[in-house]
């Protein structure tokens, strides 16, 4: 999906001038190096690709969260059921109302 | 549970007078978020609203954040598909919630949650809202389960409570 913020190859070369200095534990670094090696990527490319993908997903999820089958079923079944309160919510709501709404 | 703490606490939107730096819930990620700039940036960019529970307008006993989230259901069997719109539906997300660790065991968390649910319910009378969703940080999942939230299957740290159930609490 084009986002309008993905640079072309030439733009990447030209604009990749920002730096991030990150401190991490030695075992974290060797883990990332190992994974980058498996994927055939440089450490830098591996970190950037993963961080950018994670960032996009976090933003997407912040806006719209898509329920796949098991969760959509769970949610729809809950909506179809007649709601009833258990003792915990009933009592907690009563405590709250006594303290904050009925004064 | 002790009942002597209140009514000396009250709730208000996070402001400049609140001593955020002195607050610590013990969960590092939450403390970093609340003590530092992130919470203020999120609020000023209208990414989220933040509310605090305080005895005096300075000390923070607890806080929580509310923001909108849309839920889209796909891949539903026909018998359930009728129950849900095919468009995304609105919900309220409690993105973060924490109470100061010096105030453990006083029912603060319960009152924070009740206030969040009450605000979400009030907002639902103006803008459609089907559920309150929470992202439970470490150790908090049991708290929400005890408070009758339901965990999603594919993402068990995320839980929901339907607005029609919340309505029964406050109507």
**Average pLDDT over every residue of A10-19:** 69
Contacts of B73 in chain A (CB under 8 A): 66-67, 72, 75-76
Q: Between chains, do A99 and B73 touch, taking CB under 8 Å as contact?
A: no
Residue B63 lies inside a defined structural domain of this protein: yes
Q: What is the ipTM of this complex?
A: 0.89
Residue B4 lies inside a defined structural domain of this protein: no
Contacts of A67 in chain B (CB under 8 A): 71-74, 152
Which positions 12-51 of B are in contact with A (Cβ < 8 Å)? none
> What mean pLDDT is reported for chain B?
91
- B152 to chain A: closest CA residue: A71
Count CB neighbours of B158 within 10 A.
Answer: 20
Question: What does the pLDDT read at residue A59?
Answer: 73
Of B3, B114, B168, the CB nearest to A96: B114
Q: Is the pTM of this model over 0.80?
A: no
Tens digits of residue pLDDT in A77-99 = 898 899 999 999 999 999 999 99
Residue B2 lies inside a defined structural domain of this protein: no
Q: What is the CATH number of the domain that holds B138?
A: 3.40.630.30
Question: What does the pLDDT read at residue A1?
Answer: 43
Q: Between chains, do B72 and A84 touch, taking CB under 8 Å as contact?
A: no
Q: Between chains, do A89 and B146 touch, taking CB under 8 Å as contact?
A: no
Question: What does the pLDDT read at residue A6?
Answer: 56
Contacts of B45 in chain A (CB under 8 A): none
Q: Between chains, do A96 and B118 touch, taking CB under 8 Å as contact?
A: yes
Q: Between chains, do B84 and A79 touch, taking CB under 8 Å as contact?
A: yes
Q: How many angstroms separate the CA of residue A13 from the nearest CA in chain B? A: 31
What per-residue string of b and e applies to A76-95 under the rule 16 or more CB within 10 Å gives b? Answer: bebbeeeeebeeebeebbeb
> Could you tell me where the DSSP H helices lie in A1-103?
9-15, 26-39, 43-63, 69-80, 87-96
Picking from B59, B132, B135, B133, the residue whose alpha carbon sits closest to that of residue B99 is B59
- The alpha carbon dihedral of B160, B136, B92, B117 has a sign of positive
**Residue A11: CA atoms inside 13 Å, Cβ hemisphere, count?**
5
Query: Cα B1 to chain center, whole Å?
Result: 21
Q: Between chains, do B74 and A90 touch, taking CB under 8 Å as contact?
A: no
Question: What does the pLDDT read at residue A15?
Answer: 74
Tens digits of residue pLDDT in B93-105 = 999 999 999 998 8
- Which residue range forms the structural domain that includes residue B92? 10-170
Give me the residue spans of the domains in chain A: 1-78
CB of B145 within 8 Å of a chain A CB? The answer is: no
Query: Cα B45 to chain center, whole Å?
Result: 19
Q: Indicate if the pLDDT at residue B112 is higher than 70.
A: yes
**Average pLDDT over every residue of B23-39:** 93
Contacts of A95 in chain B (CB under 8 A): 3, 107, 110-111, 114
Residue B5 lies inside a defined structural domain of this protein: no
Helices B108-124/B163-170 angle, 10° precision: 110
Residue B1 lies inside a defined structural domain of this protein: no
Q: How many angstroms separate the CA of residue A46 from the nearest CA in chain B? A: 25
Superfamily, domain A1-78: Single helix bin (1.20.5.780)
Q: Between chains, do B162 and A83 touch, taking CB under 8 Å as contact?
A: yes
**Average pLDDT over every residue of B160-168:** 96
Q: Could you tell me the pLDDT band of residue A65, with boundaries at 50, 70 and 90?
A: confident
A4-13, A16-25, B22-31: segment of lowest average pLDDT: A4-13
Domain count, chain B: 1
Q: Indicate if the pLDDT at residue A7 is higher than 60.
A: no
Question: What is d(CA A67, CA B155) in angstroms, rounded to the nearest whole number?
Answer: 10
Question: What is d(CA A83, CA B166) in angstroms, rounded to the nearest whole number?
Answer: 9
């Amino acid at each position: 999906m084009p986002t309008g913020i993905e640079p072309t190859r030439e733009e990447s070369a030209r604009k990749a001038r920002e730096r991030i200095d990150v401190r991490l534990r030695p075992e974290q670094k060797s883990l990332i190096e190992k994974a980058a090696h498996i994927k055939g990527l440089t450490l830098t490319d591996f970190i950037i690709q993963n961080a950018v993908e994670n960032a996009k997903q976090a933003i997407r999820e912040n806006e719209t969260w898509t329920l796949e089958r098991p969760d959509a079923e769970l949610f729809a079944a809950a909506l179809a059921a007649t709601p009833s309160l258990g003792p915990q919510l009933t009592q907690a709501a009563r405590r709250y109302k006594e303290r904050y709404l009925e004064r | 549970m002790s009942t002597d703490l209140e009514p000396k606490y009250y709730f208000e939107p996070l402001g400049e007078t609140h001593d955020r730096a002195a607050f610590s819930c013990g969960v590092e990620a939450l403390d970093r978020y609340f003590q530092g700039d992130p919470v203020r940036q999120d609020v000023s960019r209208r990414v989220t609203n933040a509310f605090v529970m305080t005895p005096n307008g300075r000390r923070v006993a607890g806080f929580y954040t509310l923001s909108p989230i849309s839920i889209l259901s796909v891949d539903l069997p026909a018998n359930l598909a009728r129950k849900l719109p095919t468009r995304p539906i609105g919900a309220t997300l409690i993105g973060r919630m924490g109470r100061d660790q010096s105030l453990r065991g006083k029912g603060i968390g319960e009152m924070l949650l009740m206030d969040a649910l009450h605000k979400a319910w009030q907002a639902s009378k103006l803008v459609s809202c089907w559920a309150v969703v929470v992202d439970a940080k470490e150790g908090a999942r049991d708290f929400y389960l005890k408070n009758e939230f339901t965990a999603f299957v594919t993402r068990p740290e995320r839980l929901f409570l339907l607005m029609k159930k919340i309505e029964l609490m406050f109507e």
